[in-house]
Structure 1
Amino acid sequence: MGRMDVSLFCVYLVICLFGISEACKCAVRHPQTIICQSDFAIKAKILFEEPIDSMYTRYRVEVLQNFKSGYAPPMRNSRVWIKTATSSAACGVRFQKKSTYVIAGYKDSDGTLRASSCSLNRNIHDMTPFQLSALDNMDYQNNCNCKIRECPHNVCEGGQGCLAPYNKSDCYHRTALCRSFGSTCSWTPNAC
């Protein structure tokens, strides 16, 4: 290879590697935002996993609780399939058999339930008591009219909603919700 060929190869390689490493990037979002923007949000026990092909896996789950609506599918005690990409580069997520998770995601046009690493897919043991209580008491769901504004680089521009500076976002994500008080919204509790 000549010098020009090596340079072009290096540029190509850098672009390819960057493309692979950047294939799945998720914006930082509060659990309340994820729940409100999702088509479904459930607490589910993973029964078994079935590879569909080299790209996708589906999980058979038992729905223990429906956080979006107790009366809309997927119904409590029903067994449904949740499809996800296999690769983390494609925003895939893996679940452990016999474990219980809070899973939020979207429905395809054909009704297929999908989960990705950009949605809320946490083992219940990894969630805080506050988060579990906010889900059980419908606090996240009942305050979807409140906008949570994540502030990258700790720069929060004024405006309505609850502001979450990046350096404190973990505190807000784990211990607070953005609650509506009449025409305004604010963090409750405001301990961050």
Structure 2
Amino acid sequence: MGRMNVALFCVYLVISVFGISEACKCAVRHPQTIICQSDYAIKAQILYESPVSSWYKRYRVKVLHNFKSGYAPPIPNSEVWIKTASSSAACSVTFQKKTTYVIAGSRDSDGTLRASSCSLNRKVQDMTPFQLSALNNMDYQNNCNCEIRECPHNVCEVGQGCLAPYNNSDCYHRNALCRNSGLTCTWTPNSC
């Protein structure tokens, strides 16, 4: 391969890799925001995987808890399919069998549950005690009227809602929720 061809191949490779990595960018969002913006939020054990195509997989899961709507579908102890689908394989998510996750995502008009790398797909063992408590006690769900604003480059504009500076957002994501305290929404606990 000549120098010119090698150079062009390297440029093509960089563009291809860049295109793949850029294909599915997800905004940094607090778990409360993800739960509130999702159509469903469940704790589920992954039973098995069923490939649909090269872009899609379906996972049969046992619903252990429905965080969004209590006894509405998917009901606890039922088995449902979750489809990991997107226009890009970079956005898909992979679950491990016999592992329990908190999964939040969208629901199609036909009732199909979907998950992507931008939705919440976290192993229960990787969640903090605070996050699990906020889910189980409906704290995230009961405060959906509160806006959480992520502050890119650590520049937080003054305004309504709870502000999360980017350099400290992990603390807020793992250990705080934005709670309606009457007339305003504030971080609880305010320890970050």
TM-score normalized with structure 1 length: 0.92
**Pair 187,166 (structure 1): closer, same or farther in 2 beyond 3 Å:** same
Cα contact 2:55–2:89 (8 A) shared by 1: no
**In the aligned structure 1, how far is the partner of 2:86 from the partner of 2:147?**
32
- What CA deviation, in whole Å up to 9, does each residue of 1:45-67 have, x standing for no partner? 11111111111110000101000
**In the aligned structure 1, how far is the partner of 2:158 from the partner of 2:15?**
37
**In the aligned structure 2, how far is the partner of 1:7 from the partner of 1:91?**
30
**Pair 97,5 (structure 1): closer, same or farther in 2 beyond 3 Å:** closer
**In the aligned structure 1, how far is the partner of 2:18 from the partner of 2:109?**
32
**Pair 11,102 (structure 1): closer, same or farther in 2 beyond 3 Å:** same
**In the aligned structure 1, how far is the partner of 2:74 from the partner of 2:116?**
18
Matched, 1:97 2:97: yes
The count of corresponding residues between Structure 1 and Structure 2 is 192
Q: Match of 2:43, SS? A: strand
Residue aligning to 1:29: 29
Pairs within 5 Å for 1:73-88: 73-85=73-85
Cα contact 1:147–1:162 (8 A) shared by 2: yes
Q: Match of 2:20, SS? A: helix
Identity among equivalent pairs (%):
81
Deviation, 1:18, is 2.0
Residue aligning to 1:113: 113
Residue aligning to 2:134: 134
Residue aligning to 1:144: 144
Residue aligning to 1:164: 164
Cα contact 2:55–2:88 (8 A) shared by 1: no
Aligned-residue RMSD, C-alpha: 2.2
Equivalent residue letter for 2:171: C
Runs of 4+ aligned residues of structure 1 deviating over 6 Å after TM superposition are 1-10
**In the aligned structure 1, how far is the partner of 2:70 from the partner of 2:76?**
7
Pairs within 5 Å for 1:44-55: 44-55=44-55
Deviation, 1:16, is 3.2
Matched, 1:179 2:179: yes
Deviation, 1:12, is 5.3
Equivalent residue letter for 2:136: D
Cα contact 1:57–1:86 (8 A) shared by 2: no
TM-score normalized with structure 2 length: 0.92
Cα contact 2:101–2:122 (8 A) shared by 1: yes
Deviation, 1:159, is 0.5
Equivalent residue letter for 2:68: K
**Pair 157,79 (structure 1): closer, same or farther in 2 beyond 3 Å:** same
**In the aligned structure 2, how far is the partner of 1:114 from the partner of 1:86?**
9
